[in-house]
Amino acid sequence: MREIGVAALRDIARGAAVLGTGGGGDPYIGRLLAERAIAAHGPVTLVDVDEVPAGALVVPTAMIGAPTAMLEKLPAGDEGAAALEALQAVLDGEVTHTVSIEAGGLNSVVPLVTAATHGLPVVDADGMGRAFPEVQMVLCTLAGIQAAPLALADDKGNRLVMRTIDNVWAERFARTATVEMGCSAMMALYAMRGDQLAEATVAGTLTLCEELGALIAAERRAHGDPVGAIAERLGGRRLVGAKVSDVERRTEGGFARGEARLEGIGDDRGAALRLHFQNEHLLAELDGHAAASTPDLIIVLDAETGEPITTEALRYGQRVVVIAAPCDPRWRSPAGLALAGPRVFGYDIDYQPVEAPACVS
């Protein structure tokens, strides 16, 4: 157990954007929201998974929608708390903790805003170990936990509570409502007991986010190699150093979808990389072959500073390094791949771990 204050937020948000694989929302916006909430209400208590009582009622809070929409439609800041209040009204017990639904620049810190506002502790964990674009794509689903009842809240004050027959229907209805709310909203869902956390979450995520963010900052101060340090820490590998030559991006069905084309530079001159994304990077094709795919992490970092670059921030001319890192082992199970493997997103390839010498389509 420890306290999270304003000073830790910069590293947490930066590291969360690394794990977010291009998605999970803008880390800068997330940090500003958390800074304001903690400054107003005081530090947030962070507890380990094994410190949560078995009978505790834990509710994740998160953003849902297209990250590109948030570039123009900033959250008011209280939507996560409003969603939690709406869900609390239909739950049998009192919510005792909140937790991140995914690792992402915004979604890793949204629970800190909710926790500060409601005086709740935050569990040092998340529901994926990375970010995925759809509601059902969480370890909670693999653990048999229902997303519903779930609550949505927008910046206008609208609140919506829904019950669905399964988590796929929760995604469909929540996504439709989110589009009507302006393509971004906050939600509270996947209410779970404390004794379900170990199976339904990845423990230690916020601590890892803070470590990764601090590692980038330390390497820069020492004029070191932040990209190499991140790849080593995550047990990943470098795919290519490149310049962004083109980005095709569209907001469709409540998601930011598209692809980016990159041209190799330096020692990688002549290489061609294509990134396919749906909020998050899902497939990296190097010279026409699959080099990495979901559920493994595909991470784009600024070549000079090591700063993570989200899919909505990708721009022509950026010099970047793309790395791939292994996902939580549970995603590599048959059930995990059936939920978030490459074929789920329409890519006609079989998943191969990033540790393999090559992934070939």
Q: Judge whether residue 248 has pLDDT over 80.
A: yes
Q: What amino acid is encoded at 264 in this protein? A: G
pLDDT at 74: 72
pLDDT at 268: 97
Q: 235 and 182, same structural domain?
A: no
Q: What is the CATH number of the domain that holds 56?
A: 3.40.1610.10
By residue range, what is the domain housing residue 274? 226-345
Q: Judge whether residue 151 has pLDDT over 70.
A: yes
pLDDT at 26: 82
pLDDT at 358: 53
Q: 289 and 175, same structural domain?
A: no
**Mean pLDDT computed over every residue of the chain:** 94
For residue 149, say if its preceding peptide bond is cis, omega within 30 degrees of 0: yes
CA angle 72, 13, 75 (to 5 degrees): 30
Q: Would you say residue 135 lies in a domain?
A: yes
Q: 243 and 313, same structural domain?
A: yes
Spatial separation of the C-alpha atoms in residues 327 and 314, rounded to whole Å: 23
pLDDT at 297: 98
pLDDT at 256: 80
Any idea what DSSP says for residue 308? B
Lowest mean pLDDT among 22-36, 85-99, 181-195: 22-36
Q: Would you say residue 20 lies in a domain?
A: yes
Which CA distances in Å does 300 have to 22, 127, 349? 7, 22, 22
3-state DSSP assignment of residue 283: strand
Q: What is the mean pLDDT of residues 265-270?
A: 96
Q: Would you say residue 356 lies in a domain?
A: no
Q: What is the mean pLDDT of residues 334-349?
A: 97
3-state DSSP assignment of residue 337: helix
> Residue 158 — pLDDT band, cuts 50, 70, 90?
very high
pLDDT at 361: 36
Boundary-marking domain end, from 176, 205, 234: 205
pLDDT at 255: 82
Boundary-marking domain end, from 173, 205, 237: 205
Q: 172 and 263, same structural domain?
A: no
Q: 236 and 169, same structural domain?
A: no
SS3 of 173-207: the string is HHHHHHHHCCCEEEEECCCEEHHHHHHHCEECHHH
Q: Judge whether residue 157 has pLDDT over 50.
A: yes
Q: 10 and 130, same structural domain?
A: yes
Q: Judge whether residue 360 has pLDDT over 80.
A: no
Spatial separation of the C-alpha atoms in residues 356 and 71, rounded to whole Å: 37
**Tens-digit pLDDT profile for residues 306-319:** 999 999 899 999 99
Q: 104 and 10, same structural domain?
A: yes
Q: What is the mean pLDDT of residues 95-103?
A: 96
Q: What is the mean pLDDT of residues 328-344?
A: 98
Q: Would you say residue 350 lies in a domain?
A: no
Q: Would you say residue 357 lies in a domain?
A: no
What's the sign of the alpha-carbon dihedral 84, 32, 20, 50? negative
CB-hemisphere CA count at 13 Å for 98? 31
What's the number of domains the chain is made of?
Answer: 2
Q: What ranges in the chain are assigned the alpha helix state H?
A: 6-19, 27-41, 67-70, 79-88, 110-118, 139-142, 167-180, 197-200, 205-221, 226-233, 334-340
Residue 357 vs residue 20, higher pLDDT: 20
The Cβ of residue 305 has, within 10 Å, a number of other Cβ atoms equal to 14
> Residue 142 — pLDDT band, cuts 50, 70, 90?
very high
Q: Helix, strand, coil % (nearest 5) of the chain?
A: 35, 30, 35
Q: 168 and 40, same structural domain?
A: yes
Q: 80 and 15, same structural domain?
A: yes
Q: Would you say residue 218 lies in a domain?
A: no
pLDDT at 329: 98
Q: Would you say residue 213 lies in a domain?
A: no
Q: 175: which 2 tokens?
A: 């996504």
Q: 244 and 178, same structural domain?
A: no
Q: Is the pTM of this model over 0.95?
A: no
pLDDT at 70: 67
Q: 245 and 178, same structural domain?
A: no
Q: What is the mean pLDDT of residues 106-121?
A: 93
Q: Judge whether residue 12 has pLDDT over 90.
A: yes
Q: 87 and 45, same structural domain?
A: yes
Q: Judge whether residue 95 has pLDDT over 90.
A: yes
**Tens-digit pLDDT profile for residues 208-244:** 999 999 999 999 999 999 999 999 999 999 999 999 9
Q: Would you say residue 77 lies in a domain?
A: yes
Q: Judge whether residue 10 has pLDDT over 90.
A: yes
Q: 229: which 2 tokens?
A: 């340090």
Phi, psi of 58 (to 5 degrees): -110, 130
Q: Judge whether residue 138 has pLDDT over 80.
A: yes
Are 154 and 185 a contacting pair, CB within 8 Å?
yes
Provide the CA 241 distance to its chain's centre, in angstroms.
23
| Residue 98 bridge partners (DSSP) | 59, 122
Spatial separation of the C-alpha atoms in residues 70 and 92, rounded to whole Å: 33
pLDDT at 338: 98
**Tens-digit pLDDT profile for residues 268-279:** 999 999 999 998
Q: What is the CATH number of the domain that holds 332?
A: 2.40.390.10
pLDDT at 44: 97
**Tens-digit pLDDT profile for residues 20-56:** 999 887 888 889 999 999 999 999 999 999 999 999 9
Q: What is the mean pLDDT of residues 287-316?
A: 95
Residue 128 vs residue 30, higher pLDDT: 128
Among residues 3, 185, 164, the alpha carbon closest in space to that of 78 is found at 185
